[in-house]
Amino acid sequence: MKKHLLSFLLLVPGLAQAQAPVPYTVKGKIGQLNAPAKIYLLRGNEVLDSATFKNGTFELKGTTDVPQSASLVIKRNGKLGTGVYGEMDVAQVFLEPGPVVLTSPELLRKATITGGPVTADNQRLQAALKPISAKMEAFGAESQKVPSEQRNSPAFAERMQAQFEAFNKEIVQRNRDFIKANPNSWVSLDALTGIGMWEVPQYAVVAPLYEAFSPALKNSPQGRQYGKMVRELKDIAIGTQAPAFSQQTPEGKTVALADYRGKYVLIDFWASWCGPCRAENPAVIKLYNEYKGRNFEILGVSVDNEKTREKWVKAIQEDHLTWPQVSDLRGMDNEVAQRYHVRAVPQNFLIDPTGKIVAANLHGEDLKATLARYIK
């Protein structure tokens, strides 16, 4: 789930020309590295610059429209290749006026980073997140001590899932706290867009954070793109009428959301190729069996495509999904997914008997608690 949720960094046509270029320099010393070792500066998958080490030193220069985050990657053989996220030494920096300097006796990821005010802001955010990273590392190490037969059990998998969901919530909350306290910081804009990696944005949560931003942040390419997304989220905010739709089951029967008027219905967006979606299915089946006779139904909407139709049908059978399943087999361009602004799966919406959205993106204990609250 949690992967490639939002395309925040698309430039608005013509806007880039209105921004004065910001010169930046990123330099430093990492151990005693020499050729062929190289360091790459990346923005997403785009290589902005690279340099070959000389006695551990490097320097990278360029311009950017606004201060923004980028990644430094060291490849000791000098070849970045196609595996940008493969085994490597990585650090995050912010491109801003003035030099950003990294120093480390050995590893880039453990470097001390100094720079201007944007870098200082980022260091404060990273310091706030560090305790959570430490807890995650400790939990991972402790989990490795569990005997293999226990690690393969459903109970262990559920415990792991619950714990990492708790970690995710902590990470998101620390980011929100920083954003709220620093509405004029470029780090806050980057953090708000980055939260989409951890949870699906909700209008009631992200709109106030975005609206508090300074005009400079809002009018940047990233800010304008995020603002567009916020306006779209308003269409499916909690309390709004759920967008109407109808699609067909694998057998060709048309099912409409209107068919469920008078009942609570969970619209469940998923796909046969989505591992997290299918990992959730056993827990969802358990809740469905508990509530299905109590004015509650589930309607599955698949974002599979024509090429994966057979896999979709097979997944329904293999996962023992007994509630109705529909799709137009257009992948993420599924008409229903577009109406609900679904950018990644799994994602779901709980609709009340009057057709209003009362909750969204419910998983694990949150789904269980929400159904218990609404369905008596």
Neighbours of 140 (CB within 10 A): 12
CB 46 within 8 A of CB 5: no
CA angle 138, 142, 146 (to 5 degrees): 165
Strands 347-351 and 264-270 come out as: antiparallel
277 catalytic residue (yes or no): yes
Lookup result for tokens 């067909």: 248
Secondary structure letter of residue 210 according to DSSP: H
37/50 Cα distance (integer angstroms): 11
Q: Give the residue among 132, 44, 24 at the shortest CA–CA distance from 92.
A: 44
What are the tokens at 121?
């802001």
CB 60 within 8 A of CB 93: no
Q: Pick the catalytic residue: 39, 72, 100, 277?
A: 277
DSSP, collapsed to helix, strand or coil, labels residue 111 as coil
Whole-Å CA distances, 109 to 83, 114, 124: 18, 14, 17
Q: Give the residue numbers annotated as catalytic, written as ranges.
A: 277
